[in-house]
Amino acid sequence: MTAVEAELMRRVGKLDPAERIGGKSLHRPFLLLWAIGQAVQGREREHRWSTVRDAVGPLMTTYLDLPARAEQVLYPFWHLQRDQLWEFADTENLTLTSDGRRPTLTALNSSDPVAGLPEGAYELISREPEFAARVASHVVSTFFNPPPPGLLEDMGLADLVADRLGRALRPCVGESFTNRNAVSDVYGGNRVMGITPLHDRILSVYSDDEGPYQDAPINEIGWIGYTGDGLRGHQQMTSGNRSMQRYQQQQRALRYWHKPVGGQWTFASWVVIVQLRQRWGVGVDHLARREFVWVLAPVDSPLRDTWPADVIEALEEDDGTLHDDTEGIPAREPSSDTPSGNHDRYRRLTAAARRTADRRTRRSRLVEVERYYRSATAREAVMIRSEDKCENRNCLGHPTERTDADAAILEVDHVDPLARGGADTPETMIALCPNCHALKTRGRNRKRLQTALLKTARLRHEAFMSSAT
């Protein structure tokens, strides 16, 4: 991408309509979309006020449900220039209103000035169809999502974006880079922050399997639990978290980047935020802190009409409520060096997990996430109980193998899957090495193994619950 293209995408990305009663004021994005359509069709760059007034006014009435008044067109015709996406040939003879904010309608009708896209922007859009599709896709996906029937045809953009609306945006899903600097060199954006926009101002979130955050897929549904912004202390609704909250409120898609251990940064998927949770975690200072978990649902594109039905359902149920998984749950703390200390913590975590499980027996506002979201409290209790060893008594793998970070290579699993009504409490959960987990899930003798594992989990649970403090 050239510097000129990047700068134009930055300007388009910064377009931020004012909030009005009933939603955002979309006058400026609407006029910009019309101007893009004119450039794509090979029309002149500059347009007289009377031409824009007579062409755009009726379209605003149709698609923005605005009164058929020339003042509705006057606002974007004048103010789009402050976004550096519109310019006038001559404004010296225009009489302004008493507050000096815009020309009077009488002055515009009398002098009939010309205005249009800046010359550089016009040249790019009129001569580069791929780039024109990229700009149009950005405007549509951000402000007219999904586009009302007939809008793209009336804007002269239907042929341009017929097969590439949404997909024309760059980067493309699947693009990989060796490091964050390489991403920034091509697409702009901050080189360090985990929640940050690229040059087009669309938010990106970065998830590194090597830390420092504990991001993880939510088992069985393919959604992602993404840890909020802030490395130490209780996380606050500021900075990147505030940006995430805004995207949640707008139900707008963002980019999800992922880096596996030893791998490259890859734009893995578009995602939308379907819920916000809060859990106990440990900061880089090794102290317990409350942290946000943004529940991300992958989608094919930023266009709402391409999103799966279960994602749309989740968005309709989400009212922005913070689901607090820390209430009544002890803060995370380093494991005690004494067996009695670990057993005591196990009991307290189990009690908290049962309270959470009891709440989840009732229908929640976000059914899918509440059904499958695994209790971090219960998982922590099982890890304490496992004493960093695979709990399958007949494990033939590497039950004590550890990672480079000296963590046990264990996966906490529901012996009775949640999807079949299994409880989200420690007595029905077990810590397994990856080999035993695979045998339990896909092995030929998995039914027999599941029965044995459930018995083991209950016996170990009873031993931890009954031991003396």
Question: How many residues in the chain?
Answer: 469
> What token pair was written down for 58?
């009726």
According to DSSP H, which parts of 298-433 are helical? 309-317, 339-359, 367-372, 376-386
Relative to beta strand 288-299, strand 429-432 is unpaired
Alpha carbon 321 to its chain's center: 16
**23, 14 Cβ separation under 8 angstroms:** no
What is the rounded CA–CA span in Å between residue 123 and residue 31?
18
Say which residue the tokens 């027999």 belong to: 448
Helix/strand/coil for 461 = helix
Label residue 394 exposed, middle or buried (CB < 10 Å: 0-12, 13-18, 19+). Answer: exposed
Cβ contacts of residue 310 below 8 Å, gap of 6+? Answer: 297, 368
Could you tell me where the beta strands, DSSP code E, fall in 394-440?
411-414, 429-432
The CA distance from 288 to 233, in Å, is: 8
What local confidence, expressed as pLDDT, does residue 299 receive? 96
Tokens representing 385 are 């109980």
Contact 252, 142 (CB under 8 A): yes
- What is the structure's pLDDT at 372? 46
pLDDT of residue 338: 55
The answer to whether the CB of 77 falls within 8 A of the CB of 70 is: no
Nearest-angstrom CA–CA distance, 31 and 125: 15
- Furthest CA-CA distance within the chain: 92
For CA atoms 352, 354, 355, 359, the dihedral sign is positive
Q: With the C-alpha atoms ordered 413, 416, 418, 423, is the resulting torsion angle positive or negative?
A: negative
Residue 197's nearest CA partner among 402, 461, 6, 443 is 6
Q: Which domains does the chain have, with CATH numbers?
A: 3-161 (no CATH), 172-327 (2.30.280.10), 328-469 (no CATH)
The rounded distance, in Å, linking the Cα atoms of 424 and 417 is 9
Vertex 155: Cα angle to 152 and 158 (nearest 5): 40
Residue 25 CB contacts under 8 Å (≥ 6 apart), including other chains: 17, 18, 19
Per-residue pLDDT of the chain (469 residues; tens, 9 = 90+): 788 999 999 999 999 998 877 778 999 999 999 999 999 999 999 999 999 999 999 999 999 999 889 999 999 999 999 999 999 988 888 888 888 888 999 999 999 999 999 999 999 999 999 999 999 999 999 999 999 999 999 999 999 988 888 889 999 999 999 999 999 999 999 999 999 999 999 999 999 998 888 788 876 678 999 999 999 999 999 999 999 999 999 999 999 999 999 999 999 999 999 999 988 888 888 888 899 999 999 999 999 999 998 899 889 888 888 988 776 566 655 545 555 667 887 887 787 777 666 655 545 435 555 554 446 678 888 988 998 899 999 998 776 777 776 778 888 888 876 656 666 788 989 999 989 999 998 999 999 999 999 999 999 999 988 864 4
How confident is the model at residue 243, as a pLDDT? 97
Nearest Cα neighbor of 369 from 300, 277, 272, 280 is 277
| Residue 283: both structure tokens together | 């900061």
Answer yes or no: are the C-beta atoms of 77 and 31 closer than 8 Å.
Answer: yes
- Point out which residues pair with 460 in neighbouring strands: none
